[in-house]
Structure 1
């Protein structure tokens, strides 16, 4: 029954909530607005609206627009330098999971000396304690995927070492305020709506079968699974469906909380290895590719049969009675969202890489393997990659 619940972020959830940002207590006087290196945040007017809200609150702003889909260590360090050079005393992360993840690392880099990897928590990271308090963060999420607006973690890629490692985890990296406004999500294309939604889904599905599952993580996790699975196809097929956008965004928000009170598991480690070597692979797409083989591995061990049945029921199969019913519903969800034909080979991934990827996953994100109910060997990981390959 034990759990540790601490989510200090003030969350403003619902359509139109960005309009209330100016009413909130600001953590500083000059904001560094962090956005992606794409065009959507500017073209859709989200940047202008956010700037207007901050200016209404008397906040000076400057923009850092260089974040990649899988944020890089070098870019984060540039962001830290930018924050110091412009005397910014807090960060507004405006975008999806990559922007929010990067903003947490920038918040640390801006106030602490040395290489970012001094503070990274895996493989070549030195895992040094973060000595100086990071810059405060306000998260304005424009996607429903990672739940990063809710937690204190980010994932950063070091291209020189092919490492994609979890970063942060200290209380000061919880955003002070999170704006979860589904109106900002209507512009996300169908393909990426699906990828992001599945990322949120798997956060909770992995957490539900994790050995660290507890009554609190079960409560938020199963509710997230129900909301995402039942409404994601609608959001994919009609991006203007506000009810669907709200339900998926709510599931995503809960999946962020699930990662605070529970944990994801090694599926995320296996995917991070894939995208560490293949930067163009969207994280959610990689998870989709691995998912059937990954969850089947645990079904065959019969370590939590009833949990797979419960997830299948939450996804809409009320008469579920076998663990395999979860795979049936997972397959249907992928088909309904049009992502059932994703292939590793389309992203240049080759079978001869599998052992390298497996070793990388265990070395860089080994902590998540410790959340599994069954220990996965390198050979097991290779087998999951192989069974997922097309």
Structure 2
């Protein structure tokens, strides 16, 4: 993939001290924008992407040549209406779509970072992203919005910069990564590092990739994005292009073939080391611990209007974990709304064509824009 010719990049001169203790500067932050920033510069929405997302939110992704990951929600006359709002999305640091990440060359050694890249956190990711506001001369966002890991960034953003957004929409997320989710991420990391082509993270300098391990990591993670009911209705026990079982280890069932396909296409667009680093950032996310066990304190300095959204079939970040955020906000008298969307598509519901979700998101934004 020829990334450099297809992305916008901002070189951040301001030093950033990472939570691991290292300091980075002169690092690239890749981003994309949609819509037009108005004269008052008060119609900007920062969209935060999830684990395997990127800055190409909607329209044609110039790298993959596929639709952007949130094309259902973002665009002209859609929930996040680009005729009305100026949408910004940055590829997270640690990522592989142009932002500073493990596939970049370490200027001190002239070698690809690989596993020598510094461990990052959601806090680091947010502190890097905020530079985009200064770049565009935006003093205050209209909204910051994101689902899954993107929702974690929303929470961290409001906590770090309480005066920099008017509204905040964390979707299908959590304030503290659970033991179950750490376990799933560790399974994926072990699959990658067990691949003999990982070579202690130095695979790019050896002109190879740990594709088998990365594919398995994706397969395992993808299951968590779905729901039992959704899988049963879509696949059940249907066989894959055969009338009978083959009594072997080929993909007898459609669900097996589907997961193998998801794994195979993923390795063509994502870097294995980036997967390691970003999942680790998710696992380290614990806003509750950061504020000494009192989540409410994370938001005590903001006047932002919150809208928390969850889905009934999401077992990765279940509704109760989203409600915990609402409870913490209510405890300090914050302006917060909450809705649980009835949907059987699992955690990935926020990425899909779910009319109730899309209309709810649009109504909140449009009403808030009129009020503000």
TM-score by length of 1: 0.27
Q: What TM-score do you get using the length of structure 2 for normalisation?
A: 0.28
The structure that is helix-richer by fraction is 1
* Higher strand proportion (structure 1 or 2): 2
| Highest RCO, 1 vs 2 (Cα 8 Å, sep ≥ 6) | 2
